[in-house]
Amino acid sequence: MGWCLATRLVLVALLAPRVWLQFVPTTGQVEVDCLGSLARLKLNSGYFQHKYIAFAAIDKFGRAWPLDAVQATKCGYTISQDVWGNVELRASLIGCYAHLVDDQSSTLNIQIKTGRDPDLHDAAVLNVPVSCSYGPWQPREIVSVRRNVPPIPDWFLQDQPEDRVPQDQPEDWESAFTEVQAGVPSIWQIVFHMDSGKKAMLVEEAHAVGYGVNTTDTRIVLRASYNASEAQKLEVSGVPFSTVRSSTYYKQRWMLLMVDTAVACPIDGVTYTEDTIVWTIPKGIPPLLAGVGTIRDLQVEMGINLKKLPARDRERQGYALASDKEFIVLKIPIGAPDGSYKSDVVDGKLMTTYQIKPFLEHLWEDEKRGITKHTILKEISTPLRPVPVTITDYTNVSLQLFNVTIGSFLPDVELVSVTVGDSGPLPLPKAEKMGYKIYETKHPNGSRDCVLQVPFASPGVEKEYVPDNMRNYTTTPILGFVVIPQRKPFDIPVPLSVLVRDAVLPKAEGFCDDQALYLVVKRGNVDQDWLPFVGNTLLNQETAQSLGYTLQDNGTHLALRVPKHAALVLYEEVSSLGIVATFQLQLKDQLGQTEMIDFAVSCNFSPKDLIDCQPNGTVVISAVKLLGFPDMDPSGLVLKDRRCRPASATERGATFIFTVNSCGTTRKFENATMIYENEVLYFLPGQAAPVYQLKCACQYFVGAAVLLQYTPVEVPSPSILPGVGVLALSLKLARDQSYRDFYLDTEYPVTRYLREPLYFQVELLHSQDAQLELFLEDCWATSSSDRNSYPQWNVVVDSCENTEDSHQTIFHHVPQGSVPFPMHLKRFEVKMFTFMLNGQALQGQIYFHCSAVICDSSYPSSDVLCARRCIPRRQRMGRSTDSNSDLQGYVSSGAIVLGRRNHT
Ligand SMILES: *[C@@H]1O[C@H](CO)[C@@H](O)[C@H](O)[C@H]1NC(C)=O
Ligand SMILES: *[C@@H]1O[C@H](CO)[C@@H](O)[C@H](O)[C@H]1NC(C)=O
Ligand SMILES: *[C@@H]1O[C@H](CO)[C@@H](O)[C@H](O)[C@H]1NC(C)=O
Ligand SMILES: *[C@@H]1O[C@H](CO)[C@@H](O)[C@H](O)[C@H]1NC(C)=O
Ligand SMILES: *[C@@H]1O[C@H](CO)[C@@H](O)[C@H](O)[C@H]1NC(C)=O
Ligand SMILES: *[C@@H]1O[C@H](CO)[C@@H](O)[C@H](O)[C@H]1NC(C)=O
Ligand SMILES: *[C@@H]1O[C@H](CO)[C@@H](O)[C@H](O)[C@H]1NC(C)=O
Ligand SMILES: *[C@@H]1O[C@H](CO)[C@@H](O)[C@H](O)[C@H]1NC(C)=O
């Protein structure tokens, strides 16, 4: 703005009585008031707002004198602007350039230049004539005009300790005589009285250092700045005063005119409570009362903005004026409508102060000077207080719009920019182009709110996933304001957030084939920044390749192929259905720290690979690391007999090779199958109970017997579907009683003659299990290879030798040491007499069949069937109908031809 706010404090001393009248002219843009000894020009804000303004006074010769700060102080002008932008000029009716008639009616011409550029090149010029009258003047009028409150410099007080305040000193002007005698005649001169001594100067000299000294028809006018070199600070009853003690004189040969021009004005004396301003003015001001014994109070009045308030209005508006012997106290409620609030910025924070311009008029009479009118004009600004800024959220989700009001602000606060994300401050039109809508709403009391509307889709609105299918829409635009007219900037961040239930989570589909697991993740609207992890490994093309995976990401889908034996495939469960391999993919937040969602694909793979039950009783188990045991060291896996350790181990698993008669393997017969069971265990050091237990079983059946389904009994611990092994049986014909030599498969059919004994051996082939014992249940002969065909001829019945028919059966003991596992063999001899068929001896081919059972020789009695066999050295027991629980098989011989010797 073009004007300069004067920070000068002005003292005006007026002398001599007279009677005055009043006249008020006006123009459209400027309102002129005559208020006491001052004229006030109020500039219409509608016309002058946002313009640069300069004032000048026009003297009687038509010359323009710019009213700059120095000139204003010296000449009795004050220029100020209120919060609402209203500019005001106050002029003393006896100020410089005023044309005074009879010390009563005053005219002056004020020129106002206004324009849009600071240099006022294209300025419009407005001449405002002012005519006012004032009266009656009191013999002595002291007007104290207090502008902004400047800090009181320390030097001001330092050589003026309180105890040196003179109480009963002689009047200053008496002590000025020495200077007056020495002074130049016929010229107005002035003597300043200071504690450091006296200082006399000519009026021109006083002008040069900033004083305003002039005469009117009847008066001497002195104006002094509060900080003038000759001003002194004085404390009166605790209130600091600025005083200028001076005597102004005019000397002629035969006459001396000498006037006491002492002034004293309070600098402070204002205290504040939460809601009240208390202004205290002491009455006994020594420089004004020098040499005076008693004073008589005549009147105490107050007003605001130069307008006197009658007592009844005063109370109605909440002001309280009290006057006692020592003090005048004016109490002003903070917020009273005559004052106004003004914004300011301190440390980037919005503050306000309440400003009001009260004045006091104190009229007293004393025996020396008659009536004195002391007028104190004061501008009070309360200490700055932070302004609470309220953000009210009217966000409407269905309109997809953040809608907030921010406020309230005084009219001197202007929104100038918006910062979105890291855009830097954007001027409002730019922000509006981005979809932001910003406007103001006015309250009846003049304050305003900002309304800010941000569509959810605008740039800078972040959408963050919040569990439960929601998204947190957030943005924090920063509103940039300035406080006019100084344009002090401050910022208000407006954090906006709203939860919207519109999250679409990524979805995954998984499938498997023999070789691999597949996972296809379809992206949602919350996972743009989520990162795929497998365990602690961030998955990208490079890591995927090194893990053996295939990764494809086309922006909307993430497709992954993971071979079943690849690293980080975990085996979750090994059950009767097979082995469950699981692959887990996690999506983590962009820092890779918080897991947002995880997907797992599980596939059943055949357990074939895991257990191999060989006919000779060798079992090969591949134990795999299961899910939930990430720290397991597979080489520490053991079998039931803990001495049995893996034959080999990798990071992912271990392989055990052992025979069924070792490593704590147990054996049981169930539903005509035989089951070997063991467990793969993992123990933590010092713990008796295993932390990992994998049940394994080999289920053997004999020959072509039906495989019976095995169901693991204990669910909690994983187990491997029993491996299936075949126990092979053979029924062979020995060449003789020594059982050393047998007919080969290629030699059948073998021809044998009647009455020649046949030496048969039934054998459990391959098995290395020394505890198995083979028993024959029944043996019989048929004429066809089908063992179920008829006729049948009994050979062994219920495990016992058939002794009833012509073809008698004899069991032969298998000597220890002759074969590795004697109990795996049974030998019997059949004496071939006749196999009678329809009363005739059978001719042609004959086949032998046996049903065999395999028993656990260590627990014969545990198996009913095995325990009751009528076998050599065994007691034949009662026949049981229950033949379910043994391992049974059938075995048949090749064809034997019953030959006839020609001579018979
Ligand atoms: C003194 O007052 C006269 C009469 O009002 C005025 O014309 C003149 O400009 C003033 N001089 C100064 C220096 O203030
Ligand atoms: C009084 O203050 C004004 C402005 O603050 C300054 O220009 C002037 O020099 C000061 N006068 C003295 C005597 O310090
Ligand atoms: C949101 O705006 C719509 C349309 O203007 C209105 O019908 C609805 O009541 C508003 N909802 C809220 C919560 O203000
Ligand atoms: C935004 O909020 C303000 C204040 O409540 C309301 O007057 C205005 O209608 C709202 N605008 C929309 C578009 O919802
Ligand atoms: C939404 O985000 C904002 C800003 O980050 C946060 O202050 C607020 O707590 C969030 N709301 C929820 C429900 O997470
Ligand atoms: C991305 O891949 C998925 C399947 O992997 C497919 O359905 C989708 O159409 C692909 N999208 C694009 C843009 O290629
Ligand atoms: C059992 O048979 C397998 C092959 O079938 C052989 O590798 C293994 O050595 C045999 N074990 C014994 C103890 O003979
Ligand atoms: C044995 O077979 C019987 C009848 O078929 C069946 O009820 C039983 O559950 C089977 N036992 C086992 C352990 O499979």
My answer on whether 375 and 393 are in the same domain is no
- Do residues 102 and 169 touch, judged by C-beta distance below 8 A? no
Q: Band the pLDDT of 782: cuts 50, 70, 90.
A: confident
Domain assignment present for residue 712? The answer is no
The tokens for 620 are: 């090969």
Alpha carbon distance 766, 854 (integer Å): 13
Backbone angles phi, psi at 10, to 5 degrees: -120, 135
My answer on whether 258 and 375 are in the same domain is yes
Tell me, what DSSP letter sits at residue 638? B
Alpha carbon distance 126, 111 (integer Å): 6
Number of Cβ atoms within 10 Å of the Cβ of 169: 14
Predicted confidence (pLDDT) at residue 653 exceeds the cutoff of 60: yes
Alpha carbon distance 632, 652 (integer Å): 9
Percent of the residues in the chain that have a pLDDT greater than 90, as a whole number: 19
Query: What type of residue sits at position 507?
Result: K
The verdict on the CB of residue 403 being under 6 Å from ligand 4 is: yes
List CB contacts of 110: < 8 A, sequence separation 6 or more: 41, 55, 56, 57, 58, 89, 91, 127, 128, 130
The tokens for 810 are: 């004899």
The verdict on the CB of residue 68 being under 6 Å from ligand 2 is: no
202-211, 697-706, 735-744: which has the minimum mean pLDDT? 697-706
Residue 675: nearest ligand to its CA? 8
Q: Separation of 557 CA from ligand 6 center, angstroms? A: 6
- Output 774 or 273, whichever has higher pLDDT: 273
**What's the CA angle centered on 281, arms 277 and 285, to 5 degrees?**
165
pLDDT at 245: 85
H-helix segments, 588-715? none
DSSP per-residue string spanning 223-248:
EEETT-TT-EEEEETTEEEEEEEEEE
- The CATH number of whichever domain residue 648 belongs to comes to 2.60.40.3210
Backbone angles phi, psi at 146, to 5 degrees: -110, 120
Predicted confidence (pLDDT) at residue 394 exceeds the cutoff of 90: yes
Q: Which of 451, 452, 496, 498 to mutate to test the pocket of ligand 4 (most atoms within 8 A of CB)?
A: 451
Residue 523: nearest ligand to its CA? 6
The verdict on the CB of residue 768 being under 6 Å from ligand 7 is: yes
Tokens 């200490």 locate to 383
Domain assignment present for residue 716? The answer is no
My answer on whether 307 and 454 are in the same domain is no
My answer on whether 543 and 434 are in the same domain is no
Number of Cβ atoms within 10 Å of the Cβ of 903: 4
The verdict on the CB of residue 108 being under 6 Å from ligand 1 is: no
> How far, CA to CA in Å, does 898 sit from each of 21, 747, 787, 838?
169, 15, 18, 17
Domain assignment present for residue 291? The answer is yes
284-321 tens-digit pLDDT: 888 787 777 778 888 999 999 888 889 888 888 899 99
List the beta strands (DSSP E) in 703-789. Answer: 723-727, 729-734, 750-753, 757-764, 772-782
My answer on whether 184 and 65 are in the same domain is no
My answer on whether 803 and 849 are in the same domain is yes
Mean pLDDT, to the nearest integer, of 509-533? Answer: 88
Q: Which atom of ligand 3 is nearest to the CA of 397?
A: 1
pLDDT at 10: 33
- Output 141 or 88, whichever has higher pLDDT: 88
Q: Which atom of ligand 7 is nearest to the CA of 617?
A: 1
- Do residues 454 and 436 touch, judged by C-beta distance below 8 A? yes
Tell me, what DSSP letter sits at residue 138? P
Backbone angles phi, psi at 75, to 5 degrees: -105, 5
Domain assignment present for residue 2? The answer is no
Q: Considering its fold, how many domains does the chain have in total? A: 6
Q: Which residues does ligand 5 sit against, CB inside 6 Å?
A: 466, 472, 474, 497, 499
Predicted confidence (pLDDT) at residue 452 exceeds the cutoff of 90: yes
Tell me, what DSSP letter sits at residue 314? H
3-state secondary structure of 719: strand
My answer on whether 295 and 166 are in the same domain is yes
Q: Which of 390, 393, 395, 403 to mutate to test the pocket of ligand 4 (most atoms within 8 A of CB)?
A: 403
Q: Which residues does ligand 8 sit against, CB inside 6 Å?
A: 670-671, 708
Q: Which of 148, 154, 225 to mutate to test the pocket of ligand 2 (most atoms within 8 A of CB)?
A: 225
pLDDT at 887: 64
**What's the CA angle centered on 87, arms 85 and 93, to 5 degrees?**
160
My answer on whether 376 and 394 are in the same domain is no
- Do residues 619 and 655 touch, judged by C-beta distance below 8 A? no
Residue 472: nearest ligand to its CA? 5
H-helix segments, 510-642? 541-547
Q: Which atom of ligand 8 is nearest to the CA of 708?
A: 14
Q: Separation of 657 CA from ligand 7 center, angstroms? A: 10
Where is the domain boundary, 588, 605, 622?
605
Domain assignment present for residue 149? The answer is no
Number of Cβ atoms within 10 Å of the Cβ of 391: 15
Q: Separation of 772 CA from ligand 7 center, angstroms? A: 18
pLDDT at 472: 92
Mean pLDDT, to the nearest integer, of 354-373? Answer: 86
Averaged pLDDT of the chain: 78
Domain assignment present for residue 179? The answer is yes
Question: What are the residues facing 220 on neighbouring strands?
Answer: 215
Q: Separation of 618 CA from ligand 7 center, angstroms? A: 6
My answer on whether 274 and 360 are in the same domain is yes
Q: Which of 75, 97, 134, 222 to mutate to test the pocket of ligand 1 (most atoms within 8 A of CB)?
A: 97
The tokens for 876 are: 């034949």
The verdict on the CB of residue 396 being under 6 Å from ligand 4 is: yes
Domain assignment present for residue 8? The answer is no
Q: Separation of 99 CA from ligand 1 center, angstroms? A: 8
pLDDT at 807: 62
Tokens 């002194």 locate to 232
Q: Separation of 681 CA from ligand 4 center, angstroms? A: 69
Q: Which atom of ligand 8 is nearest to the CA of 671?
A: 1
My answer on whether 543 and 463 are in the same domain is no
The verdict on the CB of residue 405 being under 6 Å from ligand 4 is: yes
pLDDT at 652: 75
Query: What type of residue sits at position 183?
Result: G
- Output 495 or 832, whichever has higher pLDDT: 495
DSSP per-residue string spanning 262-307:
-EEEES--EEE-SSEEEEEEES--GGGSTT---EEEEEEEEEETTE
Give whichever of 130-139, 161-170, 347-356, 749-758 has the largest mean pLDDT: 347-356
Tell me, what DSSP letter sits at residue 204? H
Predicted confidence (pLDDT) at residue 429 exceeds the cutoff of 50: yes
List CB contacts of 118: < 8 A, sequence separation 6 or more: 2, 52
Helix (H) or strand (E) holding 829: strand 825-831
Domain that holds residue 826: 728-898
Mean pLDDT, to the nearest integer, of 239-264? Answer: 80
Query: What type of residue sits at position 109?
Result: N
Q: Which atom of ligand 5 is nearest to the CA of 470?
A: 13
Domain assignment present for residue 879? The answer is yes
My answer on whether 617 and 736 are in the same domain is no
pLDDT at 578: 62
Where is the domain boundary, 583, 605, 627?
605
683-694 tens-digit pLDDT: 888 887 777 777
Alpha carbon distance 819, 761 (integer Å): 12
Mean pLDDT, to the nearest integer, of 262-271? Answer: 84
pLDDT at 329: 94
Give whichever of 13-17, 18-22, 30-34, 708-712 has the largest mean pLDDT: 30-34
The verdict on the CB of residue 311 being under 6 Å from ligand 3 is: no
Predicted confidence (pLDDT) at residue 42 exceeds the cutoff of 60: yes
Q: Separation of 862 CA from ligand 2 center, angstroms? A: 122
124-163 tens-digit pLDDT: 888 888 989 887 777 677 776 644 433 333 333 333 333 3
Q: Which residues does ligand 6 sit against, CB inside 6 Å?
A: 520, 554-557, 559
- The CATH number of whichever domain residue 126 belongs to comes to 2.60.40
Where is the domain boundary, 437, 469, 500?
500
pLDDT at 874: 39
- Do residues 19 and 115 touch, judged by C-beta distance below 8 A? no
> How far, CA to CA in Å, does 398 sit from each of 279, 498, 500, 673?
56, 12, 10, 70
Residue 519: nearest ligand to its CA? 6
3-state secondary structure of 303: strand
Alpha carbon distance 171, 246 (integer Å): 11
Q: Band the pLDDT of 883: cuts 50, 70, 90.
A: very low
Question: What are the residues facing 340 on neighbouring strands?
Answer: 355
User: How many Cα atoms are found within 13 Å in the side-chain-facing hemisphere of 149?
Assistant: 17
215-229, 387-401, 524-538, 678-692: which has the minimum mean pLDDT? 215-229
- The CATH number of whichever domain residue 809 belongs to comes to 2.60.40.4100
pLDDT at 141: 75
The verdict on the CB of residue 356 being under 6 Å from ligand 1 is: no
pLDDT at 560: 93
Q: Separation of 721 CA from ligand 7 center, angstroms? A: 22
Residue burial 327-340, b: 16+ Cβ < 10 Å; e: rest:
bbebebbbebeebb
Q: Which atom of ligand 8 is nearest to the CA of 710?
A: 14
My answer on whether 127 and 237 are in the same domain is no
